[in-house]
Amino acid sequence: MLPRQIYAIVVAFLLQSAAPTAASSDKSFLDDSLVRRDQVQNVLEHQPAKEPACHRVPTGPIETTLCDYETVEAHNDDLYTHLKDLVKTPFFKYFRVDLYRDCPFWQENGYCMNRECGITTMDESEIPERWRAAELSKVEMPSEDQRHNLPGCYYRDSDFCFLDDMSEGDYIDLSANPERFTGYAGPSAHRVWASIYEENCFGLSEYNLLSSNSPNPAPVSLPDSMSDLLRGDGGESKTCLEKRVYYKIISGLHASISTHVCHEDMNQTTGEWGPNLQCFINRVAAYPERLQYIYFNVVLMLRAVSRIGPYLQAYDYCGTGAHEDDAYTLDKLNQVIGIAQDVGKFDETVLFRGENANILKEEFKAHFRNVSRIMDCVGCDKCRLWGKIQTSGIGTALKILFELDEKALDPRLNANLLSRSEVVALINTLHRFSESLAAVNVFREMWAEADEQEAKEMIREAQHAVASSSRPRPSPPVGAASPDSQKFIDDFQRWVRACQDGTVFCLRGLVQGIRHVVDTVFSLFKLSGKEGPPRTEF
């Protein structure tokens, strides 16, 4: 293996994005300023810390937290080990979800016909009776006057996302349906993520609330650690803190999903599953801030687990009568809660402060609820499954941090504070983020084993990918197929391949095709649904 100095010389001029800033080749991606030169090397040649270094004041760039990156790195091996065992236990691996609700925002026809998009469901008889929807609905479903209903789902005022109606959906063993590469991409996937990022738009600015020139200044008093960020002269400081937190959450989720896809990639030549270093470089390592946001989400999720810890410890995880299983589950969970108490130093008190705090919080909720609904527009069953789980897990964490006071968190006073699906989603989502950080270390090992020529080729490919993603797409030449017609041709070709494989997606593709034709005919006689940003009347 060549020393890292050679790598720096070879690729120092590569991967310039947006407005470049000066950065030396020895600067870590963990530094405050975003690394705009040598991004790939900074991410992949970083050596994770092995000893915790948590302080009472912010020492790293994880905004609104009281802990640094090194602390997360020092604990993640243990955290991931316990979470990996925990999500395999019966309570945390069985999940009920409705994957077949219509997209509420636009007519979605981007169905994935790759066999890897499919999921394996379970018969209800395989689920312990006390975890079945009929039993849970007796104790968990809020009354009609406590929830807002939509077809197939509902939310309460305290919820940051929509929850599936217990009368709908399938039972799924999450351990048998891992999140990984499915081949789902193209316009449909792009539209989903574009709509999610469009939800990052808020009408209020905390900078304006702090300004003496504001016509109605709010009485905001912030800790010294955050006041400088909001009152400074930097460009980002004028951005509402809640908006920055929201963006970090969404971008961290996107980066984590990309990491999973690259770590569990299908080698089209050998047909084997394994990590794809080039995929990770193109999607994450070339943009170090994306990896920073995964760390941010880990701390946020750990803070939620720490805060809800007593409630989780009092929860009954025994569904089969085998109390040794319950004891094992609780032991693993206690290990996770212990780490959460050490590392989950997210400071939720600095958000939603002042006279307009409630307005801003309701706006934040509305945006994230829309994100949870956008997941019904994902055209890949497995992608939709994990998208719904993770948005539900993050939404549950946000509810724990911003909606529940200490009295509500007391399990003796509020035994049904969270539904079973919320508890399962919370832990599985934390596992997803922790696994992403573990996967990054695998990619670092692969990078260390690459020779000089391989490194240059991967950097060159990443440079091309970054340039292509930022370059406007040229108009198709005269006589070329339109995007819609080309999409139809691509979908038809995928359907033919599915039929040749003899998979169930052949029949499903036929049914979806017929449905598309019928929907198209009916759409001629009604107004268009959504061509702009997702609706916010929810």
Q: DSSP 3-state assignment of 152?
A: coil
**Which residue spans within 289-428 are E strands per DSSP?**
none
Query: Are the beta carbons of 393 and 301 closer than 8 angstroms?
Result: yes
Q: Residue 119 CA to chain centroid, in angstroms?
A: 19
Burial-class residue 138 by CB neighbours within 10 Å (0-12, 13-18, 19+): exposed
Which amino acids are annotated catalytic?
380, 383
Question: What does the DSSP assignment read for 133-147?
Answer: HHHHHHHHSPPGGG-
Burial-class residue 167 by CB neighbours within 10 Å (0-12, 13-18, 19+): exposed
The interaxial angle of helices 69-86 and 288-307, nearest 10 deg, is 60
Nearest to 380 by CA among 173, 110, 172: 110
The rounded distance, in Å, linking the Cα atoms of 286 and 280 is: 8
Nearest to 27 by CA among 2, 49, 8, 55: 8
DSSP type of residue 349: G
CA angle 322/323/324 to nearest 5° reads 90
Q: Are strands 121-122 and 170-173 parallel, antiparallel or unpaired?
A: antiparallel
- 186's CB contacts (< 8 A; 6+ apart) are 110, 487, 490
